[in-house]
Amino acid sequence: MFRALKIDDKKAQSLVSWAIKRPRAPQSVIMPLRYGSEPAAEACVETGQHVRAGEKIADALAPGAVNRHAPFAGKVTRMGYLPHPVLGETPGIEIHGGDFPESFTSAGPAVEVMAGNGRDRSLLPFFRDMGLVDLDAAMQPLHTKIAEARGSALDVLMINGCDPEPYITSNHALAMSHALEILKGAEILRQAAGARHLVLAFQKNQMEAAEIVRSKIFFLRWEHAEVVIQPSAYPYGLNDLVLWHVLGTNARGAAAAKHRALVLNLATAFAVYEAVEQGKPLIERAVTIGGECVVEAKNVCVPLGTRLEEAFRFCGGLLRDPGRVLINGPMAGQAQTSLEVPVLPGTAALLALAKEITVIRETLPCDRCGLCVEICPSDLAPAGLVLAAERGEWQDARAAGIEHCIECGGCAFICPSRLPMAHFIHQAKAALGPVIRSPRSGGSGVRPLLAPGVGA
């Protein structure tokens, strides 16, 4: 059994209110035409063109791509290579608001979903047209993710409501304020995927949210739905660990069990509800903006494409220079060197962490302490994987089971020698090519971002 990390103390620091604030629109947004590894969408607007809130600005012409929409009314001011938090730069569209304060107005139900019809194929092109991706770090287009899962008889659609990493509470806040909408979205997804059961997963430190969802299921009399509770330690809230718990396999078995279960993020269920019931494309998401350096940590509804600098202003800005700015959590998030990059659908949190807890110390040779083995939920020997990756011995890394690594970042966090394990692991996976898919869209350069003992 691996050793998990406690996360409760760091959650408390970002937990001021469960309300999700909706600030004024940012001055401008950057909408990348590629989020992660999916094919790019093709722009269907021109520089200087005025667009309405929710208007399509890029077409999903390639299979596996999704449309893009304007998060608010404004003017297209730039098109070309623009900053991206994972890919560096990627083709994108910049829209300036300013004199165009119009916000998206609900169009009412967009699609009629037949209750209990299962495998509703008309939903998949609709998901693509509404720009829907799974709102986790990998940001896989929803229509392709569901189409892949439909290939086999699916038992369970799992909606992962956990906020696995320290500081992050955006799913918790969403479940507290929109439980019914999330359940309706989850049910639409269950029908689209043709799954028999619906399971919503939370962690022990989210019990209020879990109980609200449970009570709604009770009143809806949904016998096919249930709530499960994971321990409130890292990495129990990650998709693979949730599967492990629910399906009763170990972390390696979880990969094999995926043919029976599809895991989607709770924020995705809410976005699907808004798309189907209100005709609202994917143009915003709930984000925890926190860390020691923000004036007031909050959960905020942020338009996609908002620059990090403007997003931090939604919370009063920064009190002092952060030691590290992260998209998502300190365990497996992406460190950012520029505040010009935009919020993406997979951005559950923006964190500005204090210098004193993000000190990067010199890397030392491995002293074979074994801590990384103890913490690995996939029963791997991360030190061996790193050695193979350092030497470029990719096939050795494969033989050592690198495909079972879920890139939780636990080994990098615990390593007293500060070895950049996650970076090497990601490099090895990339070198081994399409046989191994990374659970995260970028993943490279992930280093231990908190000193050992902080948050543990």
Q: Measured at the alpha carbon of residue 190, what is the angle toward residues 67 and 255, in degrees to the nearest 5?
A: 90
Q: Counting every residue, how long is the chain?
A: 456
The residue type at 261 = A
> Which helix or strand (DSSP H or E) is residue 269 part of?
helix 266-278
Tracing tokens 């998209």 back to the chain, one arrives at: 327
Q: How far is the CB of 406 from ligand SF4 (least distance, A)?
A: 5
Query: Closest CB to ligand SF4 among 2 and 222?
Result: 2
Which token pair is 46?
């021109």
User: C-alpha distances in angstroms, 444 versus 282, 335, 365, 421?
Assistant: 26, 10, 21, 10
Q: How far is the CB of 258 from ligand SF4 (least distance, A)?
A: 16
Contact between 165 and ligand SF4 per CB under 6 A: no
Q: Which stretch binds ligand SF4 (CB under 6 A): 11-19, 116-124, 375-383, 428-436?
A: 375-383
Cα dihedral sign, 25-28-34-36: negative
- Footprint of ligand SF4 on 408-427 (CB under 6 A): 408-411, 414-417, 419, 421-422, 425
Per-residue binder mask for ligand SF4 (CB under 6 A), 21-50, x = binder: ------------------------------
Tracing tokens 């926190």 back to the chain, one arrives at: 290
Per-residue buried b or exposed e for 399-428, using 16+ beta carbons within 10 Å of the residue's own CB: ebebbbbbbbbbbbbbbebbbbbbbbbbbb
# residues contacting ligand SF4 (CB under 6 A): 29
Q: How far is the CB of 210 from ligand SF4 (least distance, A)?
A: 26
The residue type at 198 = L
- At 139 the three-state DSSP class reads coil
Contact between 444 and ligand SF4 per CB under 6 A: no
Contact between 380 and ligand SF4 per CB under 6 A: yes
Contact between 443 and ligand SF4 per CB under 6 A: no
DSSP label of 361: P
Query: Closest CB to ligand SF4 among 88 and 370?
Result: 370
Contact between 449 and ligand SF4 per CB under 6 A: no
Contact between 239 and ligand SF4 per CB under 6 A: no
Judged by CB under 6 A, the residue of 144, 334, 378, 441 near ligand SF4 is: 378
User: C-alpha distances in angstroms, 115 versus 195, 218, 273?
Assistant: 13, 18, 14
Tracing tokens 């350092």 back to the chain, one arrives at: 390
Per-residue binder mask for ligand SF4 (CB under 6 A), 334-373, x = binder: --------------------------------xxxxxxx-
DSSP label of 146: H
**Closest-CA residue to 94 (of 59, 130, 51):** 51
Contact between 390 and ligand SF4 per CB under 6 A: no
Query: Closest CB to ligand SF4 among 207 and 436?
Result: 436
Query: Closest CB to ligand SF4 among 174 and 405?
Result: 405
- The site for ligand SF4 (CB under 6 A) is made up of 366-372, 375-378, 380, 382-383, 405-411, 414-417, 419, 421-422, 425
